[in-house]
Amino acid sequence: MSTPETVHGLFAPVLTPINADLSPDAARFVSHAKQILADGCHGLCPFGTTSEASSFSNEERMDLLDQLVDSGISPSVMMPGTGCSAIPDTVQLTKHAVELGCAGVLVLPPYYYKGVLEEGIFRSFAEVIERVGDERLRIYLYHIPPVAQVGFSIKLIERLRNAYPKTVVGIKDSSGDWSNLSAILKEFPGFGTFTGSEKFLLETLRHGGAGSINAVANVIAKPLRALVDGYQNEDAEPLQSRVNLITQTRGGYAPVPLLKQIVAYQRNDPVWTTVRPPLVEMADELAKELIGQIEAAGLPLHS
């Protein structure tokens, strides 16, 4: 099956800065988005897991996306997350992104009910696609079973592609399981397959994948971009090992509070440490210790 042209490269699920009253800080959001693009990201995936998307209303998400576009960032480099548990919410966010001209949308399966039949997931996507009803729509499936506990099997991916070959054009695999990711890469050559884990970036590119959409692009875009550009070079494996250091060092700590602490450190801006409940910010002393470990391990955060 031929697949429509898909986006490629390094994308960041953009962290969302939050004010003390828990409202989103649009000015810092836009500034951060521009900075990570300048640091080497090919594009942005606002409102993914790292963006705390499920903690924001549709209206907040659409307003922030509008602000990115109004600031001069081309929608052609954006793949916002639009997947919700309720079909009308997913349709609303998806229509908005398509009408703005976004390159694609990253769509979670309906994730509240667990153990659902694949038929139910298929019907949900079919309903969204039909209700949006726009030939410009390009969907990238968001497979993150460690969080959603609902995902996409090879069989379901194939069914969705066969039913909507011009619309379902790619996937972000955040399973953390190389065997699953490699099976997708093998089964669907030419599909826009992104790894959600930086540790699989080199192998994903070597196996024909589209690139990477991962959280640490918010803080280490430069070395990640170097790996994307140079994955065929002799120094690719040492560079991959260097990128892996941040994963190894951050351990089991919640990624969003930690990454926000790192951005606060990079920008010398404590506002960045705020998260929306139910997430809780990291203690300052613990954050400083971990940041020190990351830099000591050889991955400077002010490179």
**Is residue 4 over pLDDT 70?**
no
End-to-end alpha-carbon separation of the chain, Å? 42
Domain-embedded: residue 282? no
Domain-embedded: residue 243? no
* Confidence bin at 248 (pLDDT 50/70/90): confident
Give the pair of three-digit tokens for residue 70. Answer: 């109004």
Q: What percent of the chain has pLDDT over 70?
A: 96
Span 279-293, average pLDDT: 86
**Is residue 129 over pLDDT 50?**
yes
Domain-embedded: residue 62? yes
Rg (CA), the chain: 18
Query: What pairs with residue 10 in β-bridges?
Result: 212
List the CATH number of the domain containing 153.
Answer: 3.20.20.70
Domain-embedded: residue 241? no
User: Which domain, by its residues, includes 156?
Assistant: 9-231
Q: Quickly count: other Cβ atoms within 10 Å of residue 251's Cβ.
A: 9
The DSSP code sequence of 100-165 is HT-S-EEEPPP-SSSS--HHHHHHHHHHHHHHH--TT--EEEEE-HHHHS----HHHHHHHHHH-T
**Is residue 110 over pLDDT 50?**
yes
* Confidence bin at 250 (pLDDT 50/70/90): low
**Is residue 251 over pLDDT 70?**
no
Rounded to whole angstroms, the Cα distance separating 224 from 39 reads 10
Domain-embedded: residue 263? no
Domain-embedded: residue 292? no
Domain-embedded: residue 294? no
DSSP helix/strand/coil, 237:
helix
- 184 to each of 36, 155, 158, how far by Cα in Å? 28, 10, 10
Rounded to whole angstroms, the Cα distance separating 222 from 41 reads 8
Return mean pLDDT, the chain: 93
Span 33-48, average pLDDT: 97
Domain-embedded: residue 99? yes
Span 209-219, average pLDDT: 95
Q: How many domains is the chain partitioned into structurally?
A: 1
